[in-house]
Structure formats: structure tokens, C-alpha cells
Structure 1
Amino acid sequence: MTAPHEIDVVVYGATGFVGRLTAKYLAEHLPPTVTVGLAGRSRSRLEAVRAELGPVATTWPLLVADAGDPDSLAALAARARVVISTVGPYAKFGLPLVQACAEAGTDYVDLTGEVLFHRESIDRFDDLARSTGARIVHSCGFDSVPSDLGVHALHRAADEDGAGPLTETTFVLSALRGGVSGGTVDSLRTQIDVVRRDRAARRLAASPYSLSPDRDGEPDLGAQSDVVMVDGRSIAPELTGWKAPFVMASYNTRVVRRSNALTGWSYGRRFRYREVMSVGSSFASPVFAAIVAGGLGALVAGLGFAPTRFVLDKVLPAPGEGPSKKTREHGHFAVDVFTTTESGARYTARFAAQGDPGYKATAVMLAESALSLATGGGALHAGGGVLTPAVAFGDVLTRRLREAGFDIEVRRLP
């Protein structure tokens, strides 16, 4: 019998697509002093996954646990120092495990991109996690590590230069190649179902400060739309072409604003944040941007209307599905975040990596987030609570990702 909290990192959902990728990364990059366990509903399937990971995983303990069995989740949380959860949609399956970790004082990371789940986690378990010291860190993959750590890096650079707080800040997805995540699509379906029938949830999801610890204390900065088409030159003189709305902006922007609020609005009280994506720099870029905006609107509308949802469900990837190994290996992404400080200084941060962003790169970010908690010690955020990647990990995760091959750099612009 393993003693309480003796296993450093447990991958919950290890038999799923992203869970297997995360376990594989850990098996290949595990520090010699860190222990790992695999958790899921089926012991036989866990044994099959462990066998695929090679000799290093031979002695990894297997923990049978299910979202519908609170006792099994409590037993899992009691044995782990850090739990990685890849079991979504989190609104359906995530809260019991968050509760178990908050009660046990166990650190927790996941991949959610669901505003309403994240908000409920804060409302129900933030105080509890603070009291036990559990660090509950949502959104430790492509959503929302590049966004959150990119802005954190800009803030650090401006602060070190004495350039003042950040003001207008824009994330630009400059390059992207990869597959579509079935889990992300299923999370979108789940949230659409909730907001269709619940007016209060609809208002909460639409609020730019829906994840803030103190929504009444947020500054009044006027309208902050998530569906924006902008001329690149309005972001930075160096940018050409119009930029289209980014599909995950409605989630990532709220995570970044929560980071600002959790740190006493350290980015600035005039900090405004938005996310867009490049569609090229040709004369036709406004047309392409409009097509993307219209397509995103049509997708959301289609998933909210039964006849078109039936058709879309036939063609969109299902939960648990993912791209081929070739697609995962040949994928890549690059994000450039631009800001201007109150003194007029301009900075840009680049956050880029090889590998499909929603799968291979996400598995690296998720695993390194857990390893940050397991090995980061006093360099990490000292207290518990429902935190963001920037607040929980900050420079520790930035350093680990650089060592894993990510390109993360900041430079001051003329």
C-alpha cells in the first residue's frame, strides 16, 4: 500500500488520447527522483498503456478511479502529490476530482477551456483549496499557457525596465498547423447546451471578467469583444494584413484577466487584452478574416440548432479522437503577443513550439506544468486556491518549456 501523497504525479484518464500522449512524454522525460502513476476506469486498459511505455514504467502504480465514484477519487487524491486530469468535458466529469484534490491538499492540473466549469470550480473550491494548500490550476495546455505565460513574460520585461504597467495588449496566432480536437468540440457542445437553457449562465459566459476573483473591483474599460477583426497595423506598425477572430479568445482572455486580478492587477488597471489570428498579409486578408468570423458564428449557431447539429456531429471529431502521428509530429504553432505600456514603451513576446498544438505540444505543456508543481518548491506560488498558469508557475514553467524546446522570448520594440 502506497503512503499518502507518495506518488508525485498521477495521470488521470491515462487510457484516453491526450492521457496516453502525456504519459508517454513523462516516460521519456521523467526526472529520476519523480514517481508517476496511471489512473482510469479500467485496470486492464491501464495495464495495456503501461506496457506501451517501456521499461521505465514497469513499476508505475495503477489506480482505478471513476468520476462517478467519489470514494475512488478521494483515494486517488490521497495518494498523489499532483494529479493531471485529461478527462473531459470537465463540466460533466471534472468537478468531483477537483473537490477530492482540494479536500486532500493535492495539486491539480487540467486542460479545460470551459468558462462555466472554471467559474464553478472557483466558486465551490477556491476557499477550500486555499485552506488545504491545494493548487488547482486549470487550462495547462494550448489553452491557455501561451496566452497566460506570454502576457506574464511581457509584464516581467516591462517591470524590469521600469517601463510601467501594460495597456493595449493583443495575442496574434501567427502560425498554426495541426488537427482539430474532439475534446474541444465536445466542450463547446456542452457549454452551448448550458447557455441555451440558462440565462444567468449565458450572461456569465459573455462577461469579459467571468473568471475574475472580484468582478465588482475590475476597472471599467468599456466594451471588450471576443469576436474582432482588426487591421494588423492597429496592433503594431510592423504587422500587415487584417486579423481574424481566434476561436478560443472567449476563454483565454478571461484566464489572462484573472491572472491580472489575482496579482492585484499587476499588469495594470488600464490593461486591455484581446486575441486574434493571422489569415495572411495579402490585399484579400479582410475577406479571409470576414470568412473566418462568419464561419465561427455559423459553427456556434449550427451546434445550437438540432437539425444542423445532427449533421455537424457526423463530420466533427468525436471525444477521444485525435490526429495521426504524422499530423501530431509535423504540426506547429507560433504566437506573438504585442503590448504598449503606460510610458509608451512597446514589447512583443513570441511563444512557439513544434508539434500539433492541441495534442503533442499540449501534452508537453500539461506534463511540464505537473512537473513544475512536483519539483518547483519555493520558486512557485506559495498558497493554494484556484490559480492560473501564470500565477501558479510563472518563470518556473517558462524555464521548463524552454528546456523542452519551446521558443519563448521577449524583446523591446523601437
Structure 2
Amino acid sequence: MSGQTSPDAGTPEPSTPPTATDKPADREFDIVVFGATGFVGRLTARHLAEFAPAGTRIALAGRTETKLAEVRRGLPAAASSWPLIVADASSPSSLDAMVARTRVVCTTVGPYLRYGEALVVAAATAGTDYVDLTGEVPFVHYSIDKAHETAQATGARIVHSCGFDSIPSDLGTYLLYRKVTDDDAGTLTDTTMVLRSMRGGVSGGTIDSMRVIAEEAKDPQTRRLLLNPQALSGDPGDTPKVNMSSEPSDIAVVRARNVDPSLTGTLAPFFMSSYNTRVVRRSNVLLDNAYGPDFHYAETMNVGGIPILSALLAGGVSVGTGAFLGAMSFGPTRRLLDRVLPKPGSGPGEKSMQKGYFVSETYTRTSTGRRYRSQMKLSGDPGYRATAVMLGESALTLALEGPELPARSGVLTPAAAMGDALVERLRVAGAAFDVRELT
């Protein structure tokens, strides 16, 4: 999906990354990129080749050694000696062998409901940190049930959703919490992320995940899980039973001034809010409900500030989102959509990706009545290049920033697992963050 351009969409030039410090040689590798022959896998490998500190031990993994070698030949010189590992999502023994060799496994192999279950259990069992790009509520729910307690016992950090879903959402709220706490301004109450502007498209992998979710949603139990605003907030085997109205609607059209008096027009639903909101709420639980007893979270999308026009556009987005999801669950219409939607493993050209960007803003009013806004900007197509930056930096954070990380293990979120350390690495990689009180 394309968004409107913005004159302030640029981000600062990346500075030179620091040199890696000495690390325990308990594993052969610091990071293994699993799925390196896929489109986003290649982009992630390229980012690591360009930005990983000297001495970082990285390997590429996938089903076919010849294809891995071809990918390696197309990467910057720093990757020329990276080892290749043959591993297959359908072969649990190959996954066990792979995760036993690395401190962090970084996987782009989705849809994760089809291809990710064995890997997340293998990583948790081996005590290996894990990052992925999932946007699938049922998969994360499975991960909590099957891997959380094991990961806590082994010390593994299983961190889902380390791309456009859901780092802007999760870190945007986390940074508000840190600022409000530092200012002794109370706690967060109604908090809303606004996708202010973006240029780029929905990745083929995201579309493929939507196909899988549409099929899974035919099951009544899965459908109830998808509609539960606290679906990911419980302990293993425990899904909180709450009313849908306990949190803001994921498909509501919202008057912008209700989010913050500085905004105008009408805001549309953000198409990934039904996933991102669950991640942010899980972060709050993992942080011992630090965001506050009256914390509620929603996501929206800017469609312009002209009142009548933005209202029409927002209404169209709301109707269109529902129609699209319905069409994806109905065989004949889905086959028609499949002819025009991006295919998994494919992506835009280099020039198109370079022109992409996103700007997200998260607004809150605190329990003391003060207003705050956090902002994140990152260049690159959100679903591809920017996602590769966020995923790659998440893997590097887990691999290299151990002393700076919170003392948590289990099935975590980006904010709960990495917090400030990830923010700082993303800044070095070109992301711009701004957090301020509004007057």
C-alpha cells in the first residue's frame, strides 16, 4: 500500500558502527540468517554485511547450498567468507543442528504458521535467541504456549515481530513510557499510533501470511483468538477472556482531534492494527503493566487533514479493509487477488525501495493530563528495506549488546527484550527518533 509523501521524510546518514567487543566463544556463530535466499532474507544479509561490527560471526542458512552461495556472491565483500548452512523448515533435525551453532537465529521463513513452529521450539530448547518478522497472532500464541517456559528455563529470548510489524508500534509506545516516567508525569492512558506518512508497499510475505490467517479464521476457536484484543497477553495455556470493547476497535474511523488537539481531519484504520496492538499490549504485561492501569492502545493511519475529504477516505479504507479480508477468505475472489498481489519471495526494484520511507507518530495523554508524542522515521520501503534494517539490528542487538539488555527470557516483544539498546542501534543505522511533551 502506498502512502502520501512528506517533505520531512528523510533520515540522517548512518554513522560508522562501533567495533564488536570480545564475546564468549560458546557458539560458532553470533547470527545465522535463516531464509537468506528469500527477498527479505537477502536484504537482511546485505544490511548485516554493511553494518555488522568487525568480528561479528555470521552464517547464511537455507534449503539449497548452491542458492546460498549465489546470494553470498551478490553481497558486499565482508560476507565473502560467511559459512553456508543447509537447513529446512520441514526437517526438525536440521533446525536443531543449526540453532545449536549460533547465539541468534534470524528467520525470514514464513508464513510462520506453516514454517515456523519447529524452529521456535528448537531455538527455545537450545537456549538460542531468535528474531522473526511474523504478523500472525495464532503463531505467536502457539509460541507462548509451546516455547515460553522452555525459553525461560534455557535463557533464550524469543522475539517476534522485528520489522515494520511491530517495531514502530512497540518502540513508539515504549519511548513514550520512558519519557513520561523520566518527567514524573504519571502513567499512560489513551495512546494511539498514527502512521503519519509512508511510501512503499505491502510485502509478498505479509500477503502470504494474510492468506494463511484467512484460512485459519474459518475455525471458530481461531476466529475468537483473532478478535480478542488481549490474545497475546496471557501466560502459556491462558488466553485472557475479555470483551472486544475493552480496547479500541481495530477498524474504527477516528476523529483526529480525539487522538490529539494538534491533529486535524479524520484518521483511517491501519491495516496491521489487529496484530500490532496485541504486541504492544503484551509488552505492557511483560513490563509488569508499567504503562499504567488506564493504558489503552489503538492504531490509525493519516489520510489527510481536510475534514470532509479525509472522512470520506477514512470510511473507504475501513470498508475496503473489511472487504479485502473477506475476499481473502473466499476461494474464487482470493484466486483473482492472487493474480495482482505481490508474491512471496518477490519485491520491488532497488530504486523503488530507496525512495520508500515511513513516519509513525504515537500520541498519549498521561494520568496527570499532560500530552506527549513520540516519532520514528526510517528511509527505505517499509515492507522490504526498512524491515531488513530493523530485523538486522534486532539480531545484532541480541548478539552483541548482552550487558545492556533487560534480564528477561521467554517469548518476548522488541520493547521488552531489547528496549533502549535496540533504539540506540537503530539510531546508528539511520532511524530518527523524537520524543517530546506537547503544549
TM-score bin, normalised by smaller chain? over 0.9
Which of 92, 112, 115 does residue 93 from structure 1 map onto? 115
CA distance in 1, matches of 2:408, 2:289: 18
Code of the residue aligned with 2:204 in structure 1: it is G
Hey, which bits of structure 1, 4+ residues long, moved more than 6 A?
A: 217-221
Structure 1 segment 13-24 matched on structure 2, within 5 A: 13-24=35-46
Code of the residue aligned with 2:100 in structure 1: it is A
The equivalent of 1:194 in structure 2 is 216
Query: Contact conserved, 1:42 with 1:64, CA < 8 A, in 2?
Result: yes
Code of the residue aligned with 1:332 in structure 2: it is Y
Q: The residue matched to 2:246 in structure 1 has which SS?
A: coil
Return 152-161 or 298-307, whichever deviates more.
Answer: 298-307
The equivalent of 1:225 in structure 2 is 249
User: 1:216 and 1:303, CA in 2 relative to 1: closer, same or farther beyond 3 A?
Assistant: closer
Is 1:278 the counterpart of 2:299 in the alignment? no
Is 1:300 the counterpart of 2:322 in the alignment? no
CA distance in 2, matches of 1:301, 1:220: 20
Query: By how many angstroms is 1:55 displaced?
Result: 2.5
Code of the residue aligned with 1:271 in structure 2: it is F
Q: The residue matched to 2:149 in structure 1 has which SS?
A: helix
CA distance in 2, matches of 1:47, 1:182: 24
CA distance in 1, matches of 2:263, 2:81: 52
Query: Contact conserved, 1:221 with 1:270, CA < 8 A, in 2?
Result: no
Is 1:161 the counterpart of 2:183 in the alignment? yes
CA distance in 2, matches of 1:113, 1:223: 19
CA distance in 1, matches of 2:66, 2:285: 45
Return 279-288 or 329-338, whichever deviates more.
Answer: 279-288
Which of 340, 343, 356 does residue 368 from structure 2 map onto? 343
Query: By how many angstroms is 1:20 displaced?
Result: 0.2
Which of 313, 316, 334 does residue 309 from structure 1 map onto? 334
Query: Contact conserved, 1:179 with 1:322, CA < 8 A, in 2?
Result: no
Is 1:399 the counterpart of 2:424 in the alignment? yes
Code of the residue aligned with 1:380 in structure 2: it is L
Return 63-72 or 307-316, whichever deviates more.
Answer: 307-316
Is 1:244 the counterpart of 2:265 in the alignment? no
Code of the residue aligned with 1:54 in structure 2: it is P
Query: Contact conserved, 1:336 with 1:351, CA < 8 A, in 2?
Result: yes
The equivalent of 2:13 in structure 1 is none
The equivalent of 1:264 in structure 2 is 288
Query: By how many angstroms is 1:219 displaced?
Result: 10
Query: Contact conserved, 1:129 with 1:386, CA < 8 A, in 2?
Result: yes
Query: By how many angstroms is 1:221 displaced?
Result: 7.1
The equivalent of 1:145 in structure 2 is 167
Per-residue Cα deviation, 1:325-369 (whole angstroms, up to 9, x for no partner)? 111100010001000110111100001111101111100000000
Which of 345, 354, 357 does residue 332 from structure 1 map onto? 357
Per-residue Cα deviation, 1:240-296 (whole angstroms, up to 9, x for no partner)? 110000000000000000000111100011100000000011131100001111111
Is 1:380 the counterpart of 2:412 in the alignment? no
CA distance in 2, matches of 1:145, 1:218: 25
CA distance in 2, matches of 1:202, 1:117: 13
What 5-or-longer segments of structure 2 have no aligned partner? 1-24
Which of 36, 51, 65 does residue 29 from structure 1 map onto? 51
The equivalent of 2:10 in structure 1 is none
Which of 214, 235, 248 does residue 259 from structure 2 map onto? 235
Q: The residue matched to 1:412 in structure 2 has which SS?
A: strand
CA distance in 2, matches of 1:375, 1:386: 19
Code of the residue aligned with 1:382 in structure 2: it is A
Q: The residue matched to 1:141 in structure 2 has which SS?
A: coil
Q: The residue matched to 1:240 in structure 2 has which SS?
A: coil
Structure 1 vs Structure 2 CA RMSD: 1.4
Query: By how many angstroms is 1:377 displaced?
Result: 1.4
CA distance in 2, matches of 1:332, 1:320: 21
Code of the residue aligned with 1:278 in structure 2: it is N
Query: Contact conserved, 1:180 with 1:323, CA < 8 A, in 2?
Result: no
CA distance in 2, matches of 1:387, 1:264: 13
The equivalent of 1:213 in structure 2 is 234
Query: By how many angstroms is 1:218 displaced?
Result: 7.9
User: 1:218 and 1:200, CA in 2 relative to 1: closer, same or farther beyond 3 A?
Assistant: closer
CA distance in 2, matches of 1:218, 1:259: 18
Query: By how many angstroms is 1:205 displaced?
Result: 0.9
Query: Contact conserved, 1:221 with 1:272, CA < 8 A, in 2?
Result: no
Code of the residue aligned with 1:212 in structure 2: it is S
Which of 224, 239, 259 does residue 203 from structure 1 map onto? 224
Query: By how many angstroms is 1:306 displaced?
Result: 1.4
Query: By how many angstroms is 1:6 displaced?
Result: 1.7
The equivalent of 2:75 in structure 1 is 53
CA distance in 2, matches of 1:324, 1:218: 44
Code of the residue aligned with 1:315 in structure 2: it is V
Q: The residue matched to 1:63 in structure 2 has which SS?
A: strand
Per-residue Cα deviation, 1:299-323 (whole angstroms, up to 9, x for no partner)? 1111111111111111111111111
What percent identity do the matched residue pairs reach?
53
Q: The residue matched to 1:315 in structure 2 has which SS?
A: coil
CA distance in 1, matches of 2:244, 2:314: 29
CA distance in 2, matches of 1:133, 1:373: 12
